[in-house]
Amino acid sequence: MRTIILPVALVAAAFAQAQAQDAEAEKKAIAKIRESGALVLEIAQNDNRLDVSYITASAKITAEQLAPLKELTRLAKLNLGKLEIGDDALAHIAGQKTLVRLHLEKTKVTDKGLEHLKALENLEYLNLYGTEVGDAGLAHLEGLKKLKNIYLWQTKVTDEGVKKLQAAIPGLKIDRGT
């Protein structure tokens, strides 16, 4: 009996230590994000997922300043709208499996950048208004089966691109501003 309990206890202790290290890394990342002028809030008292918004930050946020986003394990909402960021910045959120809402409106994101979003399996909302995204970029989103709303006005997306994305994600609401 002791031979079974000891390995289980060791695994539990290792797991607890790993969780504590993750929590500490996330605390440090949150502090760095706040230093850049962004807001980091828990969504609600009973929902500890994070809402990160750069609307109060300088428009001169660099891709490197977004690097701490990789350390967040509870990121649900992210607003990068109106920042002067491009495709390289999206690499820092490529692994955010918990991300549900993403604002990229009026950024310098192009088709190439959307390749970083294809693994965001829980993404439900995406705002690409005023970007240089076209049909080739939308192809990277076709696997996002939970996507419910996408905003595409003032982009390079064509009717054909919209049809193809709609066919790939039935029920998706596509708003082109018309």
CB 77 within 8 A of CB 100: yes
Q: Is the pLDDT of residue 14 over 50?
A: no
d(CA 76, CA 71): 13
d(CA 3, CA 13): 16
Q: How far are the Cα atoms of 77, 135, 162 from residue 53, in angstroms, in the given order?
A: 8, 27, 28
The pLDDT, as a whole number, for residue 11 is 45
The pLDDT, as a whole number, for residue 16 is 46
The pLDDT, as a whole number, for residue 58 is 76
Q: What's the whole-model pTM score?
A: 0.88
User: Mean pLDDT throughout 88-94?
Assistant: 97
The model's pLDDT over 110-138, given as tens digits with 9 standing for 90+, comes to: 999 999 999 999 999 999 999 999 999 99
Sequential DSSP letters for 91-119: GGGTT-TT--EEE-TTS---HHHHGGGTT
The pLDDT, as a whole number, for residue 7 is 54
So where are the chain's domains? 2-175
> Left if phi > 0, otherwise alpha if psi is -120 to 50, otherwise beta: which for 177?
left
Q: Is the pLDDT of residue 145 over 90?
A: yes
Look up residue 4 and give its two tokens: 């079974």
User: Mean pLDDT throughout 30-47?
Assistant: 96
Q: Is the pLDDT of residue 13 over 50?
A: no
The pLDDT, as a whole number, for residue 22 is 61
CATH of domain 2-175: 3.80.10.10
- The Cβ of residue 151 has, within 10 Å, a number of other Cβ atoms equal to 21
